[in-house]
Structure 1
Amino acid sequence: METTTLKEICPTTTFKKLESGALLVDVRREKEVSDVTYDVPDYVSIPLSQLEDRMDEIPRDREVIMACRSGSRSLRATLFLMNHGYENVYNLKGGLLKWVQKGFPAKGNVQGLLNAAACDCSKPDCC
Structure 2
Amino acid sequence: MLNYLISNTMNRRIEKGIKEVDAATAYEKIKNGAILMDVREWEEIDQVAFGVANTLVMPISEFGARLDEIPRDVEVIVGCRSGSRSYQVTWFLTEQNYSNVINLKNGIISWAQSGLPVKVREAAK
Please say if 1:45 is aligned against 2:52: no
Q: Quote the Cα distance in structure 2 between the aligned partners of 1:5 and 1:109.
A: 36
Q: Quote the Cα distance in structure 2 between the aligned partners of 1:13 and 1:56.
A: 26
1:88 to 77, 81, 100: 100
User: What amino acid sits opposite 1:12 in the alignment?
Assistant: A
Would you say how many aligned residue pairs link Structure 1 and Structure 2?
108
TM-fit CA distance, 1:5: 2.0
2:40 to 14, 24, 28: 28
Report if the CA contact (8 A) 1:4-1:87 is conserved: no
TM-fit CA distance, 1:49: 1.6
TM-fit CA distance, 1:50: 1.4
Structure 1's consecutive aligned runs of 4 or more residues displaced over 4 angstroms after TM superposition are none
> 2:85 corresponds to which residue?
73
User: What amino acid sits opposite 2:72 in the alignment?
Assistant: R
Report if the CA contact (8 A) 2:46-2:121 is conserved: no
Q: Higher RCO, 1 or 2 (CA under 8 Å, sep at least 6)?
A: 2
Report if the CA contact (8 A) 1:9-1:93 is conserved: yes
Return 5+ residue gaps in structure 1 as ranges. Answer: 111-127
Question: Cα deviations across residues 3-53 of structure 1 (Å, max 9, x unaligned)?
Answer: 962101000110110011000000001100111100001001101121121
User: What amino acid sits opposite 1:98 in the alignment?
Assistant: S
